[in-house]
Structure 1
Amino acid sequence: MKPLAIALVAVLMAAGCSTPRRDKITVACSASEQWCAMMVKRFSDATGVEADFVRLSSGEALDRIKAASARQEFDVWHGGEAASYVAAKSQGLLEPYKSEKSGEIRRGWADKENAWSGVYVGVLAFCNNTKELAKRGMKPIRSWRELLDERLRGGVAIAHPATSGTAYAGLWTQMELNGRNQDAALGYLRSLHPNVLRYNTAGAAAAVQAAKGEAAVGVVFSHDCVTAQEQGYPNLQVTFPQEGTGYELGGLAVLAGAHNPESARKYVDWALSGASQRLGPLVKFYALPTNAGVPAHSKAVDLTTVKLVSYDVEVAGRAKQSLVDRFSAEIARPPA
């Protein structure tokens, strides 16, 4: 056989024996580490698609997705408050997809143009360490006004709105309570600043700080405080602000520039399904499901007992950048 023919045969054999590209996706996950790990594993078990995740707070995820938009490292974004998804949509970072499961999602809990969908709901609450509060001569906090009490100097655990969806929900709650007046909302947070222990990167960290007695009270989503209670911290008590409180609609989206868009869409279908949304309690994640066919867990918040502010996710998302920039410039820089 001639040398050229031998070389051609070798190339063809190598091509035929090459390993096919693995069916794999990478998820930017903005909920708890345990929940993220369970979700990608259960998805892989159900579909055969290999999946891994990187845990990022919603603000961190948005920044990283934006920075990598030309060579996107993620296929899907899962979890984290929907205002960040609204911001991502406006920047062309999401790939619209109408899932076969979209009809099962409760009305109003998804983007009208199918850029993202809600997968869970969490309500902002106070995670009180009753023992630490008693040391300060205080009872569990039940209003935003009480959170400004001088006895709470350095005793309030909270995250920074540049990195945390929880914290941005708190900021937007103040916007709604103050007629969407930025000066008034930031004025409240400026008054709160002396009482803040430090600004965390992730919202759920405040529940851990309250649980361990590092802080007297944490501003978190109620299900994060319930999770801490179940981890063996009996001094914790969940309360809700009597003036009204905001909530998080946890999002889900296929990312523009995904390396494996077909499997990314499979992930969205699975994550919106009733089977997926029943899994949270297995890792002590008690947020409310958005799939209408899945009942709320007994340890989830009862929305009929809580006063909610009007929370327009679209308006909150469009205002996010300017509000966060002002907070960072006028009150506290983001955590390093």
Structure 2
Amino acid sequence: MDQLVAAAKAEGQLTTIALPHDWCNYGEVISGFKAKYGITVNELNPNASSADEIEAIKANKGNTGPQAPDVIDVGLSFGPSAKAEGLLMPYKVSTWDEIPAEAKDADGHWYGDYYGVLAIGVNTDVVKEVPKDFSDLLTDTYANSVALAGDPRSAANALMAVYAAGISTGAAGGEAAADAGLEFFKKLNDSGNFVPVDGEAAPIAQGTTPVVLNWDYNLLAVRDNLKGNPPVEVVIPQSGVVAGVYVQAISAYAPHPNAAKLWMEYLYSDEGQLAWLKGYCHPIRFNAMSKAGKIPQDLLDRLPDAAAYEKAIFPSLDDQNAAKAAVAAKWDTVVGANIQ
């Protein structure tokens, strides 16, 4: 670690991409890393999608300047595909053994960092009747109200929201769940309930998108940051509880490879994992840290009702890839909504 710290400090900078400060408490994570190691963090396009992150690596293969990302944080399906394209540098952090085998590449090209479940966020100043499940969203109560947090053809959270909607109808998974989810959003769009706007914090607060499907940790962070103005309620749906794992990786073309490795060591340390948990993201080492008594009770008490998570399913990578292909191919023809 001493040698790695010295090498990273000599590089002097780390370039990240797609890390909004209210996503998984990344604001505190980034400031903690900077304070601990005195390394500048260059933050590119905080609201970029997983697909944008991959394209940024491709577009900057020969560029050592400030537009070349050193590290990425992407949806699970993007890890193996980026590895297959030769875009990732293998690296195993010192806490590697505490990352579940099913959530990492055996060779260290990508590794799970945190997970959450798809939830429903509601601005209760605008929407008085809080939905309890996906099926509720199809009723007249939610006219011109429901949005995704991104485009499901490129953003992992939006893709998995479509998938979760399909699972809630009883679909088995994979392409079947995607097809059912597309039909769900067709109904939502045809009825006038779907709002084709990226439902981030501002449009939730403004009432443009008063009902948003997104990861629980994003919606809980929005709720906390708005501090009741307006009030936001976060609901884990009664059916279709779908969990999603995100993964970290280092660009094979990283201009600052040692800073990138040090960043990974920080993220997978107890300090980094607990910082994510403060942002309501279940860190990938959660079970191991819990068994070791490393998670403060006050953090556990801030999480939503644990019983709601007992229903969660973790789609396999094959299921996700099948869903991703189906949604990318059929969204325009089935749903026909262009998300702005």
- 1:324 partner letter: A
Per-residue CA deviation, residues 223-269 of structure 1 (Å, 9 max, x unaligned), is 22222222222632221221222122122111111122222112111
- 2:212 partner letter: G
Matches of 2:333 and 2:63, distance apart in 1: 31
How big is the shift at 1:125?
A: 0.6
Instruction: Extract unaligned runs of 5+ from structure 1.
Output: 1-19
Q: Is the 8 A contact 2:20 2:27 kept in 1?
A: no
Q: Is the 8 A contact 1:132 1:215 kept in 2?
A: no
Matches of 2:81 and 2:165, distance apart in 1: 19
Task: Give 1:89-104 correspondences, 5 Å limit.
Answer: 89-104=83-98
Q: Are 1:57 and 2:52 an aligned pair?
A: no
Instruction: Call closer, same or farther: CA 1:287–1:153 in 2, change over 3 Å.
Output: same
Secondary structure at the residue paired with 1:119? Answer: strand
1:228 corresponds in structure 2 to: 222
Q: Is the 8 A contact 1:246 1:308 kept in 2?
A: yes
Instruction: Extract unaligned runs of 5+ from structure 2.
Output: 1-8
How big is the shift at 1:274?
A: 0.8
Matches of 1:242 and 1:25, distance apart in 2: 41
Matches of 2:319 and 2:250, distance apart in 1: 22
Instruction: Call closer, same or farther: CA 1:318–1:61 in 2, change over 3 Å.
Output: farther
Q: Are 1:24 and 2:13 an aligned pair?
A: yes
1:196 corresponds in structure 2 to: 194
Q: Are 1:252 and 2:253 an aligned pair?
A: no
Secondary structure at the residue paired with 2:77? Answer: helix
How big is the shift at 1:105?
A: 2.7
Q: In structure 2, which of residues 266, 270, 290 is the aligned counterpart of residue 274 of structure 1? A: 270
Instruction: Call closer, same or farther: CA 1:253–1:318 in 2, change over 3 Å.
Output: farther
Per-residue CA deviation, residues 190-249 of structure 1 (Å, 9 max, x unaligned), is 11223122231xx6x0x5433433333211222222222222226322212212221221
How big is the shift at 1:272?
A: 0.9
How big is the shift at 1:48?
A: 3.9
Q: Is the 8 A contact 1:122 1:248 kept in 2?
A: yes
Secondary structure at the residue paired with 2:82? Answer: helix
Instruction: Call closer, same or farther: CA 1:46–1:286 in 2, change over 3 Å.
Output: same
2:4 corresponds in structure 1 to: none
Q: In structure 1, which of residues 87, 111, 126 is the aligned counterpart of residue 105 of structure 2? A: 111
Secondary structure at the residue paired with 1:145? Answer: helix
How big is the shift at 1:75?
A: 1.0
Matches of 1:87 and 1:171, distance apart in 2: 21
1:309 corresponds in structure 2 to: 313
Task: Give 1:167-182 correspondences, 5 Å limit.
Answer: 167-176=158-167, 177-179=170-172, 180=174, 181=176, 182=178
Secondary structure at the residue paired with 1:77? Answer: strand
How big is the shift at 1:331?
A: 2.5
1:75 corresponds in structure 2 to: 70
2:6 corresponds in structure 1 to: none
Matches of 1:334 and 1:85, distance apart in 2: 26
Q: In structure 1, which of residues 143, 162, 166 is the aligned counterpart of residue 153 of structure 2? A: 162
Matches of 2:319 and 2:217, distance apart in 1: 25
Instruction: Call closer, same or farther: CA 1:312–1:219 in 2, change over 3 Å.
Output: same
How big is the shift at 1:298?
A: 2.3
Matches of 1:321 and 1:31, distance apart in 2: 27
Q: Is the 8 A contact 2:11 2:256 kept in 1?
A: no
1:152 corresponds in structure 2 to: 142
- 2:171 partner letter: N
Q: Is the 8 A contact 1:208 1:228 kept in 2?
A: no
Per-residue CA deviation, residues 75-104 of structure 1 (Å, 9 max, x unaligned), is 1113x4222323323332222222222123
1:6 corresponds in structure 2 to: none
Q: Is the 8 A contact 2:105 2:111 kept in 1?
A: yes
Per-residue CA deviation, residues 159-194 of structure 1 (Å, 9 max, x unaligned), is 311342220111232454522314333212211223
Q: Are 1:214 and 2:188 an aligned pair?
A: no
Matches of 2:138 and 2:84, distance apart in 1: 35
Q: Is the 8 A contact 1:29 1:36 kept in 2?
A: no
Identical counterparts, % of pairs:
22
Matches of 2:338 and 2:106, distance apart in 1: 32
Secondary structure at the residue paired with 1:170? Answer: helix
Matches of 1:146 and 1:312, distance apart in 2: 27
RMSD: 2.8
Matches of 2:101 and 2:212, distance apart in 1: 31
